[in-house]
Chain A
Amino acid sequence: MDSIDKKLLVMIQDKFPISQRPYMEIGEKLSISENEVIERIKVMKESGLIRRMGGVFDSRKLGYKSTLCAMEVSEEKLPEVIEIVNSYIGVTHNYIRRHEYNLWFTLITPSKEHLDKVVNEITEKTGIKVNNLPAERLFKIKVNFHIPGEGEKENA
Chain B
Amino acid sequence: MLSELDKKIVREVQGDLPLDPRPYKVIAQRLGIEEDFLIDKINEFLEKGYIRRMGAALRHRKIGLKANPMIVWQVPKDKIDEVGTKLSSLSQVTHCYHRKELPKLNYNVYSMIHAETREDCYELAKEMSKMIGIEKYNLLFSEKELKKTSMKYFMED
Residues of chain A whose beta carbon lies under 8 Å from any beta carbon of chain B: 1, 9, 12-16, 18-24, 34, 38, 41-42, 45, 47-59, 61-62, 64, 68, 70, 72, 82, 85-86, 89-101, 104-105, 108, 110, 131, 133-149, 153-156
A98 and B141 within 8 A (CB): yes
CB-CB under 8 A from B116, the residues of chain A are: 148
CB-CB under 8 A from A15, the residues of chain B are: 55
B102 and A50 within 8 A (CB): no
| B148 contact from A93, A131, A146, Cβ within 8 A | A93
A49 and B155 within 8 A (CB): no
- Beyond A38-B19, A55-B45, A86-B146, whether A145 also contacts B56 by CB under 8 A is no
Count A-B contacts at CB 8 Å: 245
Shortest Cβ distance from B105 into A: residue: A101
Which one of A45, A138, A142, A149 has the highest number of Cβ atoms from chain B below 10 Å of its Cβ? A142
Please, how many angstroms separate the alpha-carbon atoms of A101 and B85 in the complex?
A: 27
- Beyond A136-B100, A153-B92, A154-B91, whether A97 also contacts B55 by CB under 8 A is no
Please, how many angstroms separate the alpha-carbon atoms of A141 and B112 in the complex?
A: 9
B125 at the interface (CB under 8 A from A): no
What are 11 A-B residue pairs whose CB atoms fall within 8 Å in the complex? A9-B56, A57-B10, A61-B49, A97-B70, A98-B141, A99-B105, A100-B105, A101-B104, A104-B70, A144-B55, A145-B65
A136 and B13 within 8 A (CB): no
B134 at the interface (CB under 8 A from A): no
A145 and B58 within 8 A (CB): yes
A95 and B52 within 8 A (CB): no
B88 and A23 within 8 A (CB): no
B30 at the interface (CB under 8 A from A): no
Given contacts A20-B25, A55-B14, 18 further A-B contacts (CB under 8 A): A49-B59, A49-B62, A57-B10, A57-B153, A64-B151, A68-B97, A93-B149, A95-B145, A97-B70, A97-B141, A139-B88, A140-B94, A143-B52, A144-B53, A145-B94, A146-B92, A153-B91, A156-B90
